[in-house]
């Protein structure tokens, strides 16, 4: 109700000119761009700058969305129109915490919105996690998507035929699909050329998708599941007994359309007991009710992964939350593998001067307004806001950020109206000019949207030579060179 009031409230003054409002958004992914769009629509005359640590905009649309999902990336057209708005600037190659501090940004702008997402990973916290051959799925995704920070990841795809993916969300399905799809099909996507070459020589033939809970709790969505089930010449293994439903599952599925449709898809694809896959055929195994217990080191290759020990689980209802949680049964089994991708969640990283809830992995906030403390007697941090994964945690789809941004911008608008954002003295903040001056004095070479367009054109040009929509520039040096040419 409060939100609905706030929204109608903010609409009611959506045409009020706010010439002096200067906003800096940190992070140019969907959360950042939707926030910019909504601020520009709600505040005529406001100036919005979007800074990003990369020379390229669009965050996970560029480095997260799978290369074989070009239609999901169409949203960048809309974001580009926002960036081309005369009152909006993209300022790339600016890293919060090293190029500029949060305190400085707050001095320079009336409002700062942090939407820099989650660039780290949850750990499993089990023995052997440091062995070579174990990666976070995020790193693997960044690698095939040509993120400059992971272009040298060089995952070993050649010394084993088996990969284990831990986790059963859409990221897990994305990486499984990239490992299993015929490379001829990937060759015409915008996948990075180093990844395409490595996948072309990959000996990974069997992929296991391991989840602690059952099919009724799996986090993936129907589109991604349908896609992986349709990969050419792929043998799918789903055990019939895993699909049997408890009365509690039945109830959960009845009330949850997504989970119900997922369960139906899995049931249709479940393996008949007699099926045999042809030799050499690639295999995808859905492994439910298994909890990773420890990673096993290779006897012949020091420091390398050779296998995984898993514990069989059963579901119990958590008394506090009512959620189904997996508990170990004491029954263990080991399997061999040469590659492990941990897809158990992303994690946000705090910067200096930013309140952070380490337990939840988000910035403590009320409707996007940052709070000084995660718990107890917290104050609202004046002019500081969050949006996207840093605000809600690393879940949801691109569109989730639309509503997330709407909420944060409603909070900003409300604060502007009651004078809690702009300074009482009436002096306007330095905004963009101040920021650019400061960055210049530190010799930070910023990349403007025009600079990104040069990268964009060059990538498209290189792509057209190979029948790809683009060939991404994947080193910092190449990106900066082309952008500032």
Q: Does 276 bind another protein (CB under 8 A)?
A: no
Kindly tell me which of 109 and 144 has the beta carbon lying closer to another protein.
144
Footprint of another protein on 363-392 (CB under 8 A): 366-367
Distance CA 327, CA 324 (A): 10
Footprint of another protein on 232-271 (CB under 8 A): 257-258, 261
Task: Select from 81, 230, 323, 360 the one that contacts another protein (CB under 8 A).
Answer: 230
Nearest approach in angstroms of CB 318 to another protein is: 16
Q: Does 278 bind another protein (CB under 8 A)?
A: no
- 171 annotated to bind ligand: yes
Q: Does 402 bind another protein (CB under 8 A)?
A: yes
Task: Select from 407, 453, 478, 481 the one that contacts another protein (CB under 8 A).
Answer: 407
- 169 annotated to bind ligand: yes
Nearest approach in angstroms of CB 42 to another protein is: 12
Task: Select from 406, 415, 458, 471 the one that contacts another protein (CB under 8 A).
Answer: 406
- 212 annotated to bind ligand: yes
Nearest approach in angstroms of CB 366 to another protein is: 8
**Tokens representing 314?**
């059963």
Footprint of another protein on 165-224 (CB under 8 A): 184-185, 188-189, 221-223
- 283 annotated to bind ligand: no
Count of residues binding another protein (CB under 8 A)? Answer: 40
Task: Select from 281, 397, 457, 464 the one that contacts another protein (CB under 8 A).
Answer: 397
Q: Does 466 bind another protein (CB under 8 A)?
A: no
- 31 annotated to bind ligand: yes
- 378 annotated to bind ligand: no
- 25 annotated to bind ligand: no
Q: Does 2 bind another protein (CB under 8 A)?
A: yes
Task: Single out the residue of 188, 183, 276 nearest to residue 232, CA to CA.
Answer: 183
Q: Which span (81-89, 118-126, 315-323, 402-410) binds another protein, by CB under 8 A?
A: 402-410
Asked if 31 contacts 120 with a C-beta cutoff of 8 angstroms, the reply is: no
**What is the sign, positive or negative, of the torsion defined by CA atoms of 308, 312, 316, 319?**
negative
Nearest approach in angstroms of CB 234 to another protein is: 13
Nearest approach in angstroms of CB 354 to another protein is: 22
Kindly tell me which of 434 and 469 has the beta carbon lying closer to another protein.
469
Kindly tell me which of 75 and 446 has the beta carbon lying closer to another protein.
75
**Tokens representing 427?**
């002096």
- 213 annotated to bind ligand: yes
Rounded to the nearest 10°, the torsion over CA 34, 40, 43, 48 is 100
Footprint of another protein on 56-95 (CB under 8 A): 69-72, 74-75, 77-78
- 170 annotated to bind ligand: yes
Kindly tell me which of 16 and 74 has the beta carbon lying closer to another protein.
74
Half-sphere exposure of 78 (CA within 13 A, CB side): 19
- Can you tell me which residue has the tokens 């949680």? 325
Q: Does 396 bind another protein (CB under 8 A)?
A: yes
Q: Which span (197-205, 294-302, 340-348, 399-407) binds another protein, by CB under 8 A?
A: 399-407
Footprint of another protein on 348-367 (CB under 8 A): 366-367
Q: Does 318 bind another protein (CB under 8 A)?
A: no
Task: Quote the longest CA-to-CA distance of the chain.
Answer: 79
Nearest approach in angstroms of CB 30 to another protein is: 9
Nearest approach in angstroms of CB 291 to another protein is: 25
Give residues in contact with another protein (CB under 8 A): 1-4, 7-8, 11, 69-72, 74-75, 77-78, 184-185, 188-189, 221-223, 226, 230, 257-258, 261, 366-367, 396-400, 402-403, 406-407, 467, 469
Q: What residues are designated binding site for NADP(+)?
A: 168-171, 212-213, 224, 396
Enumerate the known binding-site residues for FAD.
Answer: 31, 60, 96, 389, 396-398
């Amino acid at each position: 109700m409060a939100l609905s009031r706030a929204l109608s409230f903010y609409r009611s003054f959506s045409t009020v000119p706010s010439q002096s409002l200067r906003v800096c958004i940190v992070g140019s992914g969907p959360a950042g761009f939707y926030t910019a769009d909504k601020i520009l629509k709600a505040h005529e005359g406001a100036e919005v700058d979007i800074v990003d640590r990369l020379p390229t905009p669009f965050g996970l649309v560029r480095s997260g969305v799978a290369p074989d999902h070009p239609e999901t990336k169409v949203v960048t057209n809309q974001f580009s129109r926002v960036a081309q708005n005369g009152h909006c600037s993209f300022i790339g190659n600016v890293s919060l915490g090293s190029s500029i501090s949060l305190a400085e940004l707050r001095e320079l702008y009336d409002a700062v919105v942090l939407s820099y997402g989650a660039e780290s990973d949850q750990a499993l916290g089990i023995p052997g996690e440091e062995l070579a051959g174990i990666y976070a799925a995020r790193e693997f995704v960044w690698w095939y998507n040509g993120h400059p920070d992971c272009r040298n990841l060089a995952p070993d795809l050649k010394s084993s035929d088996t990969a284990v993916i831990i986790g059963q969300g859409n990221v897990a399905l994305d990486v499984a699909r990239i490992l299993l799809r015929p490379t001829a099909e990937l060759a015409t996507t915008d996948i990075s050329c180093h990844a395409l070459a490595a996948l072309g020589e990959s000996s990974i033939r069997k992929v296991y998708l391991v989840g602690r809970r059952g099919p009724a709790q799996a986090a993936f969505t129907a589109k991604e599941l349908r896609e992986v089930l349709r990969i050419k010449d792929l043998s799918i293994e789903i055990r019939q007994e895993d699909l049997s439903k408890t009365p509690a599952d039945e109830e959960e599925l009845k009330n949850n359309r997504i989970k119900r449709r997922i369960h139906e898809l899995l049931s249709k694809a479940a393996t008949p007991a007699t099926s045999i896959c042809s030799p050499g055929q690639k295999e995808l195994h859905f492994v439910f009710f298994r909890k990773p217990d420890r990673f096993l080191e290779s006897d012949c290759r020091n420091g390398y992964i050779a296998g995984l020990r898993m514990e069989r689980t059963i579901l119990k209802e958590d008394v506090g939350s009512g959620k189904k949680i997996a508990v170990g049964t004491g029954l263990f089994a080991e399997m061999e593998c040469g590659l492990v991708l941990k897809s158990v969640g992303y994690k946000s990283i705090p910067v200096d001067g930013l309140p952070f809830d380490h337990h939840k992995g988000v910035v403590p906030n009320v409707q996007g307004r940052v709070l000084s403390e995660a718990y107890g007697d917290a104050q609202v941090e004046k002019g500081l806001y969050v949006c996207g994964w840093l605000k809600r945690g690393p879940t949801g789809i691109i569109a989730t950020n639309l509503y997330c941004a709407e909420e944060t911008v409603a909070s900003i608008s409300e604060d502007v109206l009651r004078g809690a954002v702009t300074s009482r003295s009436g002096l306007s903040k330095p905004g963009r000019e101040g920021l650019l001056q400061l960055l210049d004095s530190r010799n930070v070479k910023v990349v403007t949207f025009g600079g990104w367009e040069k990268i964009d054109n060059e990538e498209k040009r290189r792509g057209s030579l190979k029948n790809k929509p683009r060939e991404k520039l994947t080193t910092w040096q190449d990106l900066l060179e082309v952008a500032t040419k």
